[in-house]
């Protein structure tokens, strides 16, 4: 079945450091890919998405590119802030519908 694998956390960075959170997927066909973020005490918010190969999603300084050849959708940000501290979930969903498949989540902690 479809699955999503993320790098394990927690990830601890200093403010202004470069962030990469790795995400790879397995799926039949070409799913849509998402990054969701969950701040403490809140629900999930969509951070960015890409619906086909080579698409780049971007939002709030975060970027991720849909790489079909490596089945990856790594999240990057050039300079993290303390306010970026949260849990980040990579997810996939077949374009015909069905379940949103989540990775295990990566907790990010940014220190001043």
Partner 1 sequence: DTEVTQTPKHLVMGMTNKKSLKCEQHMGHRAMYWYKQKAKKPPELMFVYSYEKLSINESVPSRFSPECPNSSLLNLHLHALQPEDSALYLCASSQAGTGGEKLFFGSGTQLSVL
Q: Which two tokens stand for residue 86?
A: 């949260």
Q: Report, in Å, the least distance between residue 35 CB and partner 1.
A: 11
Residue from 1, 42, 70, 112 touching partner 1 (CB under 8 A): that is: 42
Q: Which of residues 47-66 bind partner 1 (CB under 8 A)?
A: 49, 51
Pairing of strands 3-6, 32-38: unpaired
- What per-residue string of b and e applies to 28-56 under the rule 16 or more CB within 10 Å gives b? eeebbbbbbbbeeeeebeebbbbeeeeee
Asked if 83 is part of the footprint of partner 1 (rule: CB under 8 A), the reply reads no
Is 102 in contact with 35 (CB distance < 8 Å)?
no
Q: How far apart are CA 90 and CA 75, in angstroms?
A: 9
Asked if 31 is part of the footprint of partner 1 (rule: CB under 8 A), the reply reads yes
Q: How far apart are CA 40 and CA 104, in angstroms?
A: 16
Asked if 70 is part of the footprint of partner 1 (rule: CB under 8 A), the reply reads no
Asked if 12 is part of the footprint of partner 1 (rule: CB under 8 A), the reply reads no
Asked if 87 is part of the footprint of partner 1 (rule: CB under 8 A), the reply reads yes
Nearer to partner 1, 42 or 69 (CB): 42
Residues that bind partner 1 (CB under 8 A): 31-32, 34, 36, 41-46, 49, 51, 87, 89, 93-100, 102-105, 107
């Amino acid at each position: 079945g479809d699955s999503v694998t993320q790098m394990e956390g927690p990830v601890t960075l200093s403010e202004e450091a470069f962030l990469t959170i790795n995400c790879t997927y397995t799926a039949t066909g070409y799913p849509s890919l998402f990054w969701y973020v969950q701040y403490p005490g809140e629900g999930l918010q969509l951070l960015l998405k890409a619906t086909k190969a080579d698409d780049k999603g971007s939002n709030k300084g975060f970027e991720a590119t849909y790489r079909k050849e490596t089945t990856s959708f790594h999240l990057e940000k050039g300079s993290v802030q303390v306010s970026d501290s949260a849990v980040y979930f990579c997810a996939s969903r077949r374009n015909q519908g069905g379940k949103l498949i989540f990775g295990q989540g990566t907790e990010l902690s940014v220190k001043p």
